[in-house]
Amino acid sequence: MINTPAGRQPSRTWARGITTTYETNSAGDVVGRTYSDGTSSNVVYNFDRQGRKTNILDGAGSRILRYSDSGLQTGETNVSGILAGMSLVWGYDSFNRRYTLTLLSNSTALFTYTYLSASASRLTNVSDFILPIPPWWVKLRSDQTAPCL
């Protein structure tokens, strides 16, 4: 098999006999994937001038990705498909370590994970918060003496 000018495989055949073909741009970035079985959805990527993915279009719909000035991914929003309106938002501390991860539904926070690091950037704690407490959670936990958050 002859590789692309960027040294990547132009396609590969999986053990189950399906061939994945990769489409690349002039910089050698993979901008699309096509599957030979016809049941898997094709995938298309869009990039900004810095080579970062800004949009992904696949069988689940379209997702927009956002980045900070330092290049860290700060968000991903589903604009179409089954997950339309759902977003992930990442927060970072002054050392560019992930500090929070929040799931939003139409701009309403469903839950947040908080990450704490000690010296040498070692992860020490992960906390989760459900904000606000959804009615199904209260009903699920109604048989317990204290909420389990």
- Rounded CA separation 106/101 (Å): 16
The DSSP secondary-structure symbol of 82 reads T
d(CA 133, CA 123): 27
* Model confidence, pTM: 0.71
pLDDT average, residue stretch 71-81: 94
pLDDT of residue 59: 86
Residue 84 has pLDDT above 90, yes or no: yes
pLDDT at residue 132, as a whole number: 56
pLDDT of 129 above 80? no
- Tokens read off for 123: 């992860």
Give the mean model confidence (pLDDT) for residues 91-103.
Answer: 90
Round to whole Å and give the CA distance between 5 and 146: 61
